[in-house]
Homo-oligomer: A and B are copies of this chain.
Amino acid sequence: MGNCTTIIYDHRPELKKPILIEGLPGVGNVGKIAADFISQGVKAEKFATVYSDSFPPQVMLDQDCVIHMACNELYHANVNGKDIIFLLGNYQGSTPEGQYLICEDLMNDVFLKMDVSKIITLGGFGTGQMVQEPAVLGAVSDITMKLELEEHGVVFRPGEPGGGIVGASALFIGFGKMYNIPSVCLMGETSGYFVDHKSSMALVKVLESILGIDLDKSELEQKCQQIDDLTAKMKEMENDQPKGRDLGYIG
């Protein structure tokens, strides 16, 4: 019967004008790692599974050889009296159109009905270069949102990212704008060459500030250290290489 998204509820939480936080796979997996970290930190509870014929026709196996179908998941938590929904998972739609359809269905069938009051989508901003201190860039649905976000450490670089934003992170803030819901995409700077926990850490700190929480980040800190080591090593290797050919013709 054509394209469809199936949402299976474990339970239906009562939510009051919740904030939506989206973190799905993307550049450096920056957004996914940050969203997973925050949702675990605030002890968010799963309440629904999202299946779609725009996900690949695939199951994955865990260590017990128990299968898990391609899906996204919805979690909720109450943080400082404020309801939050998380959209998490390992998949985005397998085609541009499929991606559009899933997000459209989630927006219409879930988020609009839950009267979502704010949308925060998380992603990476790939620079193609090693980044020492990743900034967190913002893109907003409404210019009035910028001042408050800057106070939480978000940076706005005119017109950046120049190539725009794609995927679920783009669509939900786009839909947010369509329906007058204040929406922002937060993007951690990253080389984009590897899974970048350090960029995710920067995102996490901004989100903590926005939500008014302070989570135990020691485990994430360790992974950031690994990124620093990797960056230092790559820099070293770069310096070891002779620059140009000016040493080659002496003899």
Residues of A in contact with B (beta carbons under 8 Å apart):
1-4, 6, 8, 51, 53-67, 69-70, 93-101, 103-105, 108, 137-143, 146, 156-162, 164-168, 170-171, 173-175, 177-178, 183, 185
Contact = CB atoms under 8 A, between A and B. Distances in A.
Contact of A63 (B105, B159, B164, B174): B159
A3 B101 CA distance: 8
Given A1-B3, A54-B97, A67 B8 contact: no
Given A159-B63, A166-B56, A69 B146 contact: no
A176 B175 CA distance: 32
A228 to B, nearest CB: 29
A56 B96 contact: yes
A4 B2 CA distance: 7
A175 B67 CA distance: 11
Nearest to A167: B57
A146 B67 CA distance: 12
A65 B156 contact: yes
Given A139-B67, A178-B69, A96 B57 contact: yes
A58 B185 CA distance: 12
Given A59-B173, A61-B160, A164-B59, A96 B96 contact: no
B139 A59 contact: yes
A62 B143 CA distance: 10
B65 A160 contact: yes
A57 B170 contact: yes
A94 B51 CA distance: 21
Nearest to A168: B57
Contact of A67 (B60, B157, B162, B173): B173
24 contacts: A1-B3, A2-B4, A3-B3, A4-B104, A6-B178, A51-B178, A53-B101, A54-B97, A57-B96, A57-B167, A58-B164, A58-B165, A58-B170, A59-B164, A61-B160, A62-B159, A64-B158, A65-B158, A67-B140, A67-B170, A67-B177, A69-B178, A94-B96, A94-B97
The 9 A-B pairs of least Cβ separation, nearest first, read: A69-B174, A53-B100, A60-B164, A59-B170, A65-B156, A2-B2, A63-B158, A57-B99, A2-B3
Contacts of A61: 139, 159-162, 164-165
**Residue among A61, A63, A99, A140 facing the most chain B CB atoms (10 A cut-off):** A61
